[in-house]
Structure 1
Amino acid sequence: MHYTKYLLFLAFFLLVRVASAENGYELWMRYTKVSDEKLLTRYQELTSSIHIPGNSATLDVIRAELRLGIGKMLGKIPHFTTEATAGILIGQLSDIPSLYAGEHTSLEGITEDGYAIYTKEKQIVITAPTDAGLLYATFHLLRLIQTGQSLERLHLTSSPKVKLRLLNHWDNLNRTVERGYAGFSIWDWHTLPDYIDERYIDYARANASIGINGVVLTNVNASATALTPSYLQKVKALADVMRPYHIKVYLTARFSAPLEIGRLETADPLNKEVKRWWKEKTDEIYALIPDFGGFLVKANSEGQPGPQDYGRTHAEGANMLADVLAPHQGIVMWRAFVYSHEALEDRHKQAYNEFVPLDGKFRDNVLVQVKNGAIDFMPREPFHPLFGAMPQTPLMMEFQLTQEYLGQATHLVYLAPLFKECLNSDTYAQGEGSTVAKIVDGSLDKHRINGIAGVSNIGNDINWCGHPFAQANWYAFGRLCWDYDLNASEIAKEWLKMTFSNDSSFVEQVCQIMMGSREALVNYMNPIGLHHLMGTGHHYGPAPWVDDLPRADWNPTYYHKADTQGIGFDRTTSGSNALSQYHPEVRRKWEDLSLCEDEYLLWFHHLPWDDQLKDGHSIWEKLCESYYSGMQSVKTMQEVWDRQQNKIDDQRFKQVQMLLAIQYKEAKWWRDACLLYFQTFSGQEILPKHEKVAHTLEYYRSLHFPYAPGHW
């Protein structure tokens, strides 16, 4: 009898636990019930009725989102009415009475995707030039409620600073994801086009909620199979899902596709048959998907085929595709991440050397897509020298959300500070104030098209991104694409409130964790300008000793150049002279040791171990301090997180707690392995005040991870 009662109790306990568990699937769109009774009452009064004149698939999406969001947050589904005096009026400028449109003096300044939200007497009015703007405004209104803000006396407008706001999926057709740390691809190509997973719709909702308006579905290391008729039907099915959310789909174009699936004898971009093949293929795509966005291309990089295989330039290759896309208003995004198997010079210089001579030679529907730094998504990099060097060519930013070099999905690293650090960097291309952001948004050089791309961190894990806090990087990316002037801390707080809790102490304390997390990782991985010390192939864990790979610049030793004399990569005139690719004001700062920030010292200089820094530490002492402080920062993150136990759901609390434990263990691993290795060159002891390392250098060198995520 007692055993039966126990089973009943256990079943009830588990039922309650499951019912209250949060697995992260809802992302920042949890729409939890408003707990403040005064706010709840006022929200209910203001949102009890809604009028949305007109009919379209996007307006239907808006109605559905308002039913869901307001219904869950306020406990009452709003009444949709045909009365223009409803509590909320949502419509394009042409669909609502001019009386309301005229109330806001700034409406003329909003762009195609922009919108206005304002209060007229007791009515909230949302208006925009397009349905897309109305959709973005609807999510803004819901965000105000989610974060507990007043809906009284609203008077705001918002327009995106960047036109193309894209996620790049490095997803393969077999559902593996290159550099993916959150499971397999969410695109189930096998069951498409007949089976539409609900996740595709929720994916579109999530992107629309933060203003993302484009998705490249396939990996830059492309498969030509994606361009075959049966797969284009699958792409069409996804495009149909995305369209009501104003998200265009794009594909990667494998340059050798005319050879592989077109049965031609060449893929030479100047060949008439090749041009005809691409024109027919493009026309085929647009017949299925009239709003298809265009192609993303990785060519002549890391073994990928490209125009240089035929003695042609990147511009000639890009322009061939641009010409067939132009009648359909499609674009080409041509990646600048190139480094030659033949070139032996500093990889930092190669993209600049290849692309700057081509400035002004690309068609006007081509964007050159440039990574934020010249090496490869390092924890910290100086901005890419191409920014400010190609004024006649639109340059599209490429950030990485997936944490290839940032601890992967086991480390909490908030990337908004990294994004802003790059975008705020001054190139001096047209004097002081010529920031990377002004080049990317086209305002500095008056370009018609502009954009920012982010390499997706999304997989089919139940919480989308693997680490619960990795969701914040997806969220922050979208918010900064819309407005790069937003504050990274405020974005973090906004995300925390929507994703976890509005509890003020929780938000303040965890925001501090997030804002310090990227600097902590830099310290325990790649301090004072060191870079590319990661394990090779999978890029997991430290391996600064690797020196036996076939290309010099695949080896960590190529980048740190540690010897008994010192450490660091000399990129001044006495070294590779990569600094000559920056404008004089930038070059002078980074060349001069008295002006160069500590963060970039070993990126640009090879310095003696005893060289003294501005803070009085020697290079060796600074390395020790950085590695130990980075690890200690993670310990502090753990302690702060442990204090949040009763403020959020148990499931996600424990998940983050376990992941922080892994991060702490791996931070210590990074610290010990790197310092022991560099000690063989410096010949100096680790400072006595620091705890001793756990193992020998031989132990760390013996570790191997053949099945680590991202090994391809």
Structure 2
Amino acid sequence: MNKPYFLTLLIVLLPLVTLFAEDGSQLWLRYQRVAPAVSQQRTIVTKSTDETAKLAVQELADYWVGQDVELKLDAQQKQLKDGFHIQGDSKRITVIAQQPIGLLYGAYRLLQWQQTGKNTADKIELTEIPSFDIRMLNHWDNLDRTVERGYAGHSLWLWDELPHQLSPRYEQYARANASVGINAVVLNNVNASPQILTPSYIHKVKALADLFRRYGIKVYLSANFSSPIVLGGLPDSDPLRPEVQGWWAAKVTEIYAQIPDFGGFLIKANSEGQPGPQDYGRSHAEGANMLADAVKPFGGMIMWRAFVYNPTSEDRAKQAYTEFEPLDGQFRDNVIVQIKNGAIDFQPREPFHPLFGAMKQSNQMVEFQITQEYLGFSNHLVYLAPLFKETLDADTYAHGPVSTVAKMTDGTFRPGFKTAIAGVANIGEDANWTGHHFAQANWYAYGRLAWNHQLSSEDIAEEWIRLSFTNEEAFVAPVKDLMLASRETAVNYMMPLGLHHIFAFDHHYGPEPWGDVAGGRPDWMPWYYHNADVNGVGFDRTASGSNAVAQYHEPVQQQYSDPKTCPETLLLWFHHLPWLHKTQNGNTLWDELCFRYDGGVQEAEAFENTWDQLEKYVDTERFAEVQAKLKIQAQDAVWWKDAVLLYFQTFSNLPIPSSVEKPVHQLEDLQKIKLDLKHHN
């Protein structure tokens, strides 16, 4: 919820940015400390003695150059939840919150306005109430400090030093999250080691939880379902056995004794070899409910992932729905089913997951991937807010029109229950946190949309650019255009028209549409998803194929079923079509694929040219680092285009249109490329 009422806006002129070298470590919090003279001219006050409220005062005392500010707690303002209300004029601003963390969020909003050049108003009234109760980052960090699908170096968590030594980056991390409203973190990988639940690691987790608390952040852990066997010496982990239930109850009590505000557990079960309740003939609901009962006395939550990825004779896209839809209504109130945005696996483009329209009686949450596992790692500039918005704004029609994924998960149709959203973090120990300076925008965008899913991709991009670089319009406008185009550009040079999962096996960096691994499961193989043959290309998910369309409500089901009404962005996701099929613009499918790939390459090359013209607005260090990444991206775009078109041409036997730049590689050379990128996993 976001209700701004600006009657008059006074633009404050900020000092011009000094182009000294920056390493990106300040993220979007590049505030300049106020001069002593300014400090003496205005007051920042609160009557609260809460540590978080005092932190809000300190942030404003250090960086706010505007009028007097009072931070005021009002216990009667329950409708604000952990949001805030700001009111005032050019002489005094009051930030009102029901909870101390709301004061801190309000302070960061004031600083955001200041940094973007619109910090004060002659008269202002603004209320912000977050869209979701739990706004979570999922870290896929392992205890050996490797990060699965992480592309920014090793994990932030220095387990060997904890709990006695606290890296200064922990507080910087907490501050960055609080500045965009993120209030929950899962510290460890969903492929969880049971060791995270041992007493020594609980002490380490406590040290982080104690530090994060001031910033309104609760700590959660991924738990391994076989922990009672590995740690407790029990013969099994059957969730219906009293001994197993007792072990979890004792372990939860042990954790809460150390961390009273511990958030709960995230569970990946019976997926990709992970243990789970199905090992004992029990359902996902029975496994989740056993854990939910253990944490309920302490106010804890269970996030139970719906990503089930096991060998199946059915269409891979149907599996989660098949397993979870029959369980709708069987989960405890403190269980939230965590569902990926699409039914396959964080692809550059997927239709929204059908479970969002199917589970009307269960708490559910979207899981996005901020880290770019399938989008060029930290080498490619791909702004993900449009992808996030595409899912959140998609209409499931579960309760009629305007039953969007956002409304299915934000409490609109299930008021009174905890709501949540999750994003797989792209954060590591690199100086710039995310491996690519522009990948910081995806962390920022996720946080802003978790706070307010009605924000636009455009507005978020502009905020981030102004906060992270400069307010100069000559820089802001072209960079915003570049960012807003970048996701579609990546789709075009990777997998346009609904193609999906034709990446190199295991590491998912480059193209490998011919890929086949001896002894591998079919749904690990690119050919499983593109089905290219002499007759055409694409996956038939209509009634004549796998009938995955039946998992959607009408009119979505019918729309996807007919190639004439199916969005062309998803055409080959739902249809296997002839190479000479006519697309909406009259091109043959083959020609349109060629044009899309070529267009993606040209757009990626244009990114380089745009950036090169902006050198005078950016510090030398970040300019050069982004420039180098854009060069890699443009080269990779050509690699993708040549690999896919040359391979598909062996089936289509059609010429590449004369207006399309001819491949610079040979297919046999591309098929020899084998990258060793295991260090990224």
Q: TM-score range by the shorter chain?
A: over 0.9
In 2, Cα distance between the equivalents of 1:447 and 1:673? 51
| Residue 645, structure 1, aligned to residue 645, structure 2 | no
Matches within 5 A, 1:463-502: 463-502=432-471
| Residue 29, structure 1, aligned to residue 34, structure 2 | no
| Residue 50, structure 1, aligned to residue 44, structure 2 | yes
Give the counterpart letter for 1:421 in structure 2: E
User: How far is the alpha carbon of 1:695 from its aligned partner?
Assistant: 1.6
In 2, Cα distance between the equivalents of 1:569 and 1:167? 33
In 2, Cα distance between the equivalents of 1:402 and 1:339? 20
| Residue 90, structure 1, aligned to residue 84, structure 2 | no
In 2, Cα distance between the equivalents of 1:424 and 1:58? 34
> Would you say the 8 A contact 1:672–1:694 is kept in 2?
yes
In 2, Cα distance between the equivalents of 1:683 and 1:601? 21
1:79-110, CA deviations, whole angstroms, 9 ceiling, x for partnerless residues? xxxxxxx821112026xxxxxxxxxxxx9574
In 2, Cα distance between the equivalents of 1:46 and 1:578? 66
3-state SS of paired residue (1:579): helix
3-state SS of paired residue (2:356): coil
> Would you say the 8 A contact 2:30–2:468 is kept in 1?
yes
In 2, Cα distance between the equivalents of 1:364 and 1:602? 38
> Would you say the 8 A contact 1:401–1:474 is kept in 2?
yes
Question: 2:327 aligned to 348, 358, 378, which one?
Answer: 358
1:8 is aligned to none
Question: 2:404 aligned to 435, 438, 448, which one?
Answer: 435
In 2, Cα distance between the equivalents of 1:138 and 1:595? 48
User: How far is the alpha carbon of 1:64 from its aligned partner?
Assistant: 2.7
> Would you say the 8 A contact 1:262–1:277 is kept in 2?
yes
> Would you say the 8 A contact 1:365–1:449 is kept in 2?
yes
In 2, Cα distance between the equivalents of 1:115 and 1:44? 26
In 1, Cα distance between the equivalents of 2:137 and 2:376? 21
3-state SS of paired residue (1:607): coil
Matches within 5 A, 1:675-686: 675-686=645-656
1:599 is aligned to 569
Matches within 5 A, 1:216-235: 216-235=186-205
> Would you say the 8 A contact 2:111–2:119 is kept in 1?
no
> Would you say the 8 A contact 1:110–1:157 is kept in 2?
no
In 1, Cα distance between the equivalents of 2:623 and 2:79? 41
In 2, Cα distance between the equivalents of 1:586 and 1:700? 39
| Residue 623, structure 1, aligned to residue 617, structure 2 | no
In 1, Cα distance between the equivalents of 2:57 and 2:94? 15
| Residue 420, structure 1, aligned to residue 414, structure 2 | no
1:588 is aligned to 558
1:332 is aligned to 302
> Would you say the 8 A contact 1:110–1:158 is kept in 2?
no
In 2, Cα distance between the equivalents of 1:200 and 1:690? 50
1:249 is aligned to 219
Give the counterpart letter for 2:546 in structure 1: S
Determine which structure has more spread, i.e. the larger CA radius of gyration.
Answer: 1
Gaps of 5+ in 1: 1-17, 35-39, 79-85, 95-106
Percent identity of the aligned residues?
53
Sort the Cα spacing of 1:369 and 1:265 in 2 relative to 1 into closer, same or farther, 3 A: same
Question: 1:147 aligned to 94, 116, 123, which one?
Answer: 116
Give the counterpart letter for 2:627 in structure 1: Q
In 1, Cα distance between the equivalents of 2:39 and 2:431? 36
1:535-587, CA deviations, whole angstroms, 9 ceiling, x for partnerless residues? 11101100000123521100000000000000000000110000000002101
3-state SS of paired residue (1:369): strand
In 1, Cα distance between the equivalents of 2:368 and 2:40? 40
In 2, Cα distance between the equivalents of 1:58 and 1:603? 48
In 1, Cα distance between the equivalents of 2:306 and 2:19? 49
Scaled by the length of structure 1, the TM-score of the pair is 0.91
In 2, Cα distance between the equivalents of 1:510 and 1:46? 38
| Residue 322, structure 1, aligned to residue 292, structure 2 | yes
Question: 2:509 aligned to 526, 540, 557, which one?
Answer: 540
> Would you say the 8 A contact 1:181–1:709 is kept in 2?
no
> Would you say the 8 A contact 1:441–1:451 is kept in 2?
yes
> Would you say the 8 A contact 2:77–2:97 is kept in 1?
no
In 1, Cα distance between the equivalents of 2:107 and 2:295? 33
1:13 is aligned to none
1:64 is aligned to 58
In 1, Cα distance between the equivalents of 2:418 and 2:574? 33
> Would you say the 8 A contact 2:372–2:426 is kept in 1?
yes
2:366 is aligned to 397
User: How far is the alpha carbon of 1:123 from its aligned partner?
Assistant: 1.1
3-state SS of paired residue (2:307): coil
> Would you say the 8 A contact 1:394–1:447 is kept in 2?
no
User: How far is the alpha carbon of 1:709 from its aligned partner?
Assistant: 4.8
Sort the Cα spacing of 1:425 and 1:46 in 2 relative to 1 into closer, same or farther, 3 A: farther
3-state SS of paired residue (1:564): coil
Sort the Cα spacing of 1:354 and 1:556 in 2 relative to 1 into closer, same or farther, 3 A: same
> Would you say the 8 A contact 1:46–1:123 is kept in 2?
no
> Would you say the 8 A contact 2:77–2:98 is kept in 1?
no
> Would you say the 8 A contact 2:220–2:263 is kept in 1?
yes
In 2, Cα distance between the equivalents of 1:603 and 1:532? 10
Sort the Cα spacing of 1:155 and 1:537 in 2 relative to 1 into closer, same or farther, 3 A: same
In 1, Cα distance between the equivalents of 2:236 and 2:333? 26
Give the counterpart letter for 1:291 in structure 2: D
> Would you say the 8 A contact 2:33–2:63 is kept in 1?
no
User: How far is the alpha carbon of 1:655 from its aligned partner?
Assistant: 0.6
In 2, Cα distance between the equivalents of 1:129 and 1:59? 11
2:8 is aligned to none
> Would you say the 8 A contact 1:47–1:88 is kept in 2?
no
In 1, Cα distance between the equivalents of 2:533 and 2:307? 30
Question: 2:427 aligned to 442, 455, 458, which one?
Answer: 458
3-state SS of paired residue (2:615): coil
Give the counterpart letter for 2:157 in structure 1: W
User: How far is the alpha carbon of 1:495 from its aligned partner?
Assistant: 0.4
1:311 is aligned to 281
> Would you say the 8 A contact 1:208–1:245 is kept in 2?
yes
In 2, Cα distance between the equivalents of 1:142 and 1:542? 43
Sort the Cα spacing of 1:616 and 1:256 in 2 relative to 1 into closer, same or farther, 3 A: same
Aligned length: 662
Matches within 5 A, 1:653-664: 653-664=623-634
1:103 is aligned to none
In 2, Cα distance between the equivalents of 1:407 and 1:708? 15
Give the counterpart letter for 2:54 in structure 1: D
**After the TM superposition, which of the residue ranges 590-599 and 170-179 deviates more from structure 2?**
590-599
In 1, Cα distance between the equivalents of 2:359 and 2:582? 38
3-state SS of paired residue (2:397): coil
User: How far is the alpha carbon of 1:45 from its aligned partner?
Assistant: 9.3
Matches within 5 A, 1:177-216: 177-216=147-186
User: How far is the alpha carbon of 1:120 from its aligned partner?
Assistant: 5.0
3-state SS of paired residue (1:124): strand
Q: Alpha carbon RMSD of aligned pairs, Å?
A: 1.8
Give the counterpart letter for 1:340 in structure 2: N
User: How far is the alpha carbon of 1:472 from its aligned partner?
Assistant: 0.2
User: How far is the alpha carbon of 1:339 from its aligned partner?
Assistant: 2.5
> Would you say the 8 A contact 1:569–1:602 is kept in 2?
yes
1:504 is aligned to 473
Give the counterpart letter for 2:46 in structure 1: I
In 2, Cα distance between the equivalents of 1:339 and 1:87? 55
> Would you say the 8 A contact 1:46–1:87 is kept in 2?
no
Give the counterpart letter for 1:174 in structure 2: D
In 1, Cα distance between the equivalents of 2:665 and 2:578? 27
3-state SS of paired residue (2:163): coil
Sort the Cα spacing of 1:44 and 1:548 in 2 relative to 1 into closer, same or farther, 3 A: same
> Would you say the 8 A contact 1:117–1:126 is kept in 2?
yes
